[in-house]
């Protein structure tokens, strides 16, 4: 048993004191887990565009000061009273969509949006309404129920997926968000069939994972659409058959794609978070049956629009959170798929750095150069 059990742990964390300011590396105090909670030593974390979105002040739920981060991999340090599904030493991935197994969402086969702790999680506190983090005498908020930008974090038991001990944490941390999301958007939310045509807007980690899913589903053509043509090489490596930069055309991308595909695509995915590309993705779907899936998270106040006629004439507009995966059940399975070489993770890692350089990781993400993963 670790000698930290039951005690406050002092460790390093990247604290977001306010929106639009760089993260600050601080010594923080992490309280022991209460009943039904798990304290995790985070070994690796990655950055996701959603961390930048919240830090940028675009999240209507964003509150500060906070410890961001939601793509982590770690080892259970200690557990609170009544925790039975994990124990100290287990390798785990924290989950921003929990799975209680009992709420009406968990019992419904068509959603993964467990509702058990959504209200407190959205307020940045644990289910009992309090925080486990303090810094310089001030309370810090949790983020997405995970707060992986800290060497130690505390999460509810229902927000932890136990993975195989041989699964490398520097890789499977990516299953905490972007890769699972893009891959699941294809396999769960859209249910892409063999031989169909697909298109994805935005070739960050999420968009590349969409391409990986489309390839796994047996799509006949996979269109990769981005305004940054330097992304096309990796898109092709993941399985894109056609790369299109809307800036190369003097007509709307909807029209370009309709001409290239005899009327439009069977499935489209928006992985940017821009309401204009969400509209373009919907309108690039084939009349009568095309389905478009919104993955990107748009800034506070933004709304989507299209002519209702687009839906009247048979297109479907859907969205996905965490790729529709029921999280505790699915993340261990995805980790096994990685270990069996059925799912790529290594190829998504562009940089490895230390926690001290986290602001550089955010800069690289803003420059469109990275999927970052670092160790502590
Ligand atoms: N629904 C869910 O559960 C989840 C949603 N997300 C959301 O998904 C989105 C994608 O995340 P991530 O892959 O990390 O993001 P990235 O920023 O890495 O990728 C987005 C890509 O889109 C490109 N792009 C920007 N504007 C346009 C445009 N107008 N037309 C075409 N391409 C464009 C960017 O180019 P450049 O780099 O040059 O800017 C970049 O290549 C984000 O909104 C994120 O918040 C993420 C995870 C889970
Ligand atoms: N807090 C925001 C919405 C942010 C959001 O949509 N988050 C996604 C995951 S994005 C991961 O990188 C999500 O799963 N949402 C489901 C949920 O219940 O939050 C807002 O208030 O608009
Ligand atoms: Zn994310
Ligand atoms: Zn539930």
CA dihedral 305, 284, 211, 273 (to 10 degrees): -20
Cβ–ligand 1 contact at 178 (below 6 Å): yes
We report the CATH number of the domain holding residue 36 as 3.90.180.10
* For the CA of 224, the nearest ligand: 1
The whole-number pLDDT of residue 326 equals 98
Residues 335 and 310 sit within 8 Å (Cβ to Cβ): no
Is 330 part of a structural domain of the chain? no
162 and 187 share one domain:
no
| Pairing outcome for strands 152-156 and 37-46 | antiparallel
Query: Does a structural domain hold residue 250?
Result: yes
144 and 208 both lie in a single domain: no
pLDDT for 367 equals 87
Nearest Cα residue to atom 2 of ligand 2: 59
- Tell me, what CATH number does 242's domain have? 3.40.50.720
Q: Are residues 63 and 93 in the same domain?
A: yes
ipTM: 0.97
What is the DSSP secondary structure assignment for residue 247, as one 8-state letter? G
Mutate-to-test residue for ligand 2 from 45, 49, 50, highest number of ligand atoms within 8 A of CB:
50
Residues 235 and 369 in one domain: no
Q: What's the burial of 13, exposed, middle or buried (CB within 10 Å: 0-12/13-18/19+)?
A: buried
Where a domain ends, among 305, 320, 335? 320
Of the listed ligands, the closest to the CA of 105 is: 4
In the chain, the number of structural domains is 2
**Ligand that lies nearest to the alpha carbon of residue 148, given by its number in the listed order:** 3
CA of 293 to the centre of ligand 2 (A): 15
Q: Are residues 155 and 187 in the same domain?
A: no
Locate tokens 């993975």: which residue? 163
Using alpha carbons, select from 230, 74, 243 the residue that is nearest to residue 159.
74
**Residue 331 falls inside a structural domain:** no
Residue ranges in the chain modelled with pLDDT below 70? 369-376
Question: Residue 370 has what pLDDT?
Answer: 60
Q: Which ligand 1 atom is nearest residue 320's CA?
A: 1
Residue 77: the pLDDT is: 98
Q: Compute, in angstroms, the gap from residue 370 CA to the centroid of ligand 1.
A: 12
What is the per-residue pLDDT across 266-322, written as a single tens digit (0 to 9) for each?
A: 999 999 999 999 999 999 999 999 999 999 999 999 999 999 999 999 999 999 999
Instruction: Tell whether 206 and 103 lie within a shared domain.
Output: no
231 domain residue, yes or no: yes
> What's the confidence (pLDDT) of residue 374?
44
Q: Are residues 289 and 313 in the same domain?
A: yes
Beta carbon of 355 within 6 Å of any ligand 2 atom: no
Q: Which residue blocks in the chain are alpha helix, DSSP H?
A: 49-55, 104-107, 118-122, 169-172, 178-184, 205-217, 232-238, 253-260, 275-283, 308-312, 327-339, 358-366
The verdict on 295 and 357 lying in the same domain is no
For ligand 2, say whether the CB of 144 is within 6 Å of any of its atoms: no
Tokens of 254: 């909807």
Per the prediction, the chain carries an average pLDDT of 96
What are φ and ψ of residue 312, in 5° steps?
-55, -35
Question: 């298109």: which residue's tokens?
Answer: 199
Q: Is the CB of 374 under 6 A from ligand 1?
A: no
Strand runs (DSSP E) across the chain, as ranges? Answer: 9-15, 24-30, 37-46, 71-79, 91-94, 133-135, 138-140, 152-156, 160-162, 197-201, 221-225, 242-244, 267-270, 291-294, 316-319, 351-354, 372-375
Condensed to tens digits (0 to 9), the pLDDT of residues 205-223 reads: 999 999 999 999 999 999 9
The parent domain of residue 45 ranges over: 9-176+345-375
28 and 170 share one domain? yes
Residues 68 and 86 in one domain: yes
94 and 142 inside one domain: yes
Do 170 and 187 lie in one domain? The reply is no
pLDDT of residue 45: 98
Question: How far, in Å, from the CA of 43 to the mean position of ligand 1?
Answer: 26
């Amino acid at each position: 048993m670790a000698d930290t059990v039951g005690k406050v742990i002092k460790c390093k964390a990247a604290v977001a004191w306010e929106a639009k300011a760089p993260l600050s590396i601080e010594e923080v105090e992490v309280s022991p887990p209460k009943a039904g909670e798990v304290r995790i030593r985070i070994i690796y974390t990655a950055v996701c565009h959603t961390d930048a979105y919240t830090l940028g002040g675009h999240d209507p739920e964003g509150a500060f000061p906070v410890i961001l981060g939601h793509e982590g991999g770690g080892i259970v340090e200690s557990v609170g009273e009544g925790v039975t599904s994990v124990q100290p030493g287990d390798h785990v991935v924290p989950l921003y969509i929990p799975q209680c197994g009992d709420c009406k969402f968990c019992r419904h086969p068509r959603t993964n949006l467990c509702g058990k702790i959504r209200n407190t999680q959205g307020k940045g506190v644990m289910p009992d309404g309090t925080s486990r983090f303090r810094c310089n005498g001030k309370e810090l908020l949790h983020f997405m129920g995970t707060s992986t930008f800290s060497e130690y974090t505390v999460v509810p038991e229902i927000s932890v997926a136990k993975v195989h001990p041989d699964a490398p944490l520097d890789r499977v941390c990516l299953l905490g968000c972007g890769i699972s999301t893009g891959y699941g958007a294809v396999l769960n939310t859209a249910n892409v069939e063999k031989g169909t045509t697909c298109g994805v807007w935005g070739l960050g980690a999420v968009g590349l994972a969409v391409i990986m899913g489309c390839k796994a589903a047996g799509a006949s053509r996979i269109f990769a659409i981005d305004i940054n043509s330097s992304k096309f090489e990796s898109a092709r490596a993941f399985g894109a058959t056609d790369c299109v930069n809307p800036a190369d055309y003097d007509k709307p991308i909807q029209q370009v794609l309709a001409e290239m595909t005899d009327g439009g695509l069977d499935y489209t995915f928006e992985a940017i978070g821009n309401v204009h590309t969400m509209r373009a993705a919907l309108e690039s779907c084939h009349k009568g049956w095309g389905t478009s899936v919104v993955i990107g998270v748009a800034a506070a106040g933004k709304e989507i629009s299209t002519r209702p006629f687009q839906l009247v004439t048979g297109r479907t507009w859907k969205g996905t959170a965490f790729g529709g995966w029921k999280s505790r059940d699915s993340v261990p399975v995805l980790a096994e798929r990685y270990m069996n070489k059925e799912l790529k993770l290594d190829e998504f890692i562009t940089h490895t750095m230390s926690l001290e350089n986290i602001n550089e990781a955010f800069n690289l993400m803003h420059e469109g150069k990275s999927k970052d993963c670092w160790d502590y």
